[in-house]
Amino acid sequence: MDSVQRSTGQAILISDVVAHPLSQTLPKPTVTSWGTYHKVSMVLVEVRTDAGIVGVGEVLARFSPKAYAELIETSLKPRLIGQDASNIGALWQSMRRSLSGRAGGMLIEAIAGVDIALWDVMGKAAGMPIAKLLGGIGRETIEVYAAAVNWVDDVEADRELERYIGEGFPRIKVKMANPVREACRRIERLRKRAGDDIELCVDANWAYDLDQAIEVGRALSANGYFWFEEPLAPENEQGYEELRKRCDVPLAAGESNFTADQAQRLVANRTLSILQPDVARAGGISETRRMADYAALHDVGYAPHIGMSGIICETASAHLAAALPNFQVMECECDLSPFKRDLADLAPGCLRQKKGQLDVPTRPGLGIEIDWDAVKRLRIQ
């Protein structure tokens, strides 16, 4: 892409990078096969420029956010100061070289926050929303599903399911865990309560070994669930391939991937029907786009993961969803946490959606303005 320039024709240069480690208490605990989450964190990244344009990004840093902030300010920032903000590809590669070893972990998540902020700068400088800047399909609305019915007792699970149906969601995610017999019972129970008109999917957060996943997968297929998300640990690629052969429900995964090469095997052999990178983990907009484009080449759908992230992650994901040809449906986390509710002037998607449809922001860049008082309140000192 051509350099982003001011009216004088000069490039816009990065003048500062600031990492804000933030922490929040969830208004209601999230309960998955991993356990109960009462509190999670993130890092908000500011990229400031000599033209006065400020971009913002988000790092998926659920724990130890100060460590991520230190990595950004000590290892990434020196590589960015004074550089042309539009050279995102070159800047991404430079940041990647700040640590040796296989790509992944904290480094790629930290790069994600910077990358999103750089795209925000570019959109603001060009006067275009990122969805348009990506030059894609041009959707103005995207389909979303409610996340999630937690792994809680039957009474609470029924209450959560009915809440999402009452809010107009036609698609709902259900968290699943062990024991397998209880999971299969829950799968059948919620299908009966939801009826045939509501689409249901399951997220297991790596709860199962292969034999367990086969049993749960068969229950999902028998009850018409539309995908089985992360049934196995992400490293168990052979297990995913065997599971694909032995159950009919489509498999979804990818939120644990950091870079496109980590998605390559299961996309190329089409073990996965749906790839779910998280833009705040998977190297930002640039690398997530590469993942989704690679998936499109193999007739695999793209469904952005959001989880317990914030409004920046959700909004960046909406722009990608609007632009990419193989987009299927986006997660709409309904926790109403401070990271989604308080950080910006855009309401969370769960409050803006209508019958499972969400409008894509149309203002330049991400299309949000940050509430810096909220940042100050949530920041870890």
Dist. CA 272–CA 241, nearest whole Å: 9
Neighbouring-strand partners of residue 174: 149, 202
Counting residues of the chain whose pLDDT is more than 70, the rounded percentage is 98
Structure tokens at 297: 């080449």
pTM as predicted = 0.96
Beta bridge partners of 18: 46
In sequence order, the 6+-apart residues with CB closer than 8 A to the CB of 247 are 213, 214, 217, 218, 220, 221, 228
312: alpha, beta or left? (left if phi > 0; alpha if psi -120 to 50): alpha
Residue 106 confidence (pLDDT): 97
- pLDDT category, 2, cuts 50, 70, 90? very low
Q: How many helices (H) and strands (E) does the chain have?
A: 15, 12
264 pLDDT exceeds 70? Answer: yes
Q: Residue 352: is its pLDDT beyond 60?
A: yes
Beta carbons of 135 and 321 less than 8 angstroms apart: no
pLDDT attached to residue 103: 87
Q: pLDDT at residue 257 above 70? A: yes
Percent of the chain with pLDDT over 90: 93
Instruction: pLDDT band for 7, please (50, 70, 90 cuts).
Output: low
Whether residue 80 is predicted with pLDDT greater than 80 in this model: the reply is yes
The backbone torsions φ and ψ at residue 116, rounded to the nearest 5 degrees and listed phi first, read -60, -40
Domains and CATH numbers, the chain: 13-127 (3.30.390.10), 132-367 (3.20.20.120)
Q: What is the DSSP code (8-state) at residue 234? A: T
Which stretch of 21-30, 78-87, 136-145, 202-211 has the lowest confidence by average pLDDT? 21-30
What's the pLDDT score for residue 275?
98
Confidence of residue 100 (pLDDT cuts 50, 70, 90): confident
Torsion of CA 159, 163, 166, 171, to 10 degrees: -110
Nearest CA to 89 out of 193, 207, 1 is that of: 1
Q: Which residues pair with 47 in a beta bridge?
A: 17, 55
Residue 144 is predicted with a pLDDT of 98
- Check if the beta carbon of residue 300 is closer than 8 Å to that of residue 275: yes
Alpha helices in 198-283 (DSSP H): 210-222, 237-246, 260-268
Q: Model confidence at 9, in pLDDT bands (50, 70, 90)? A: low
Segment (H or E) for 44 = strand 35-49
Torsion on CA atoms 375, 309, 18, 257, rounded to nearest 10: 170
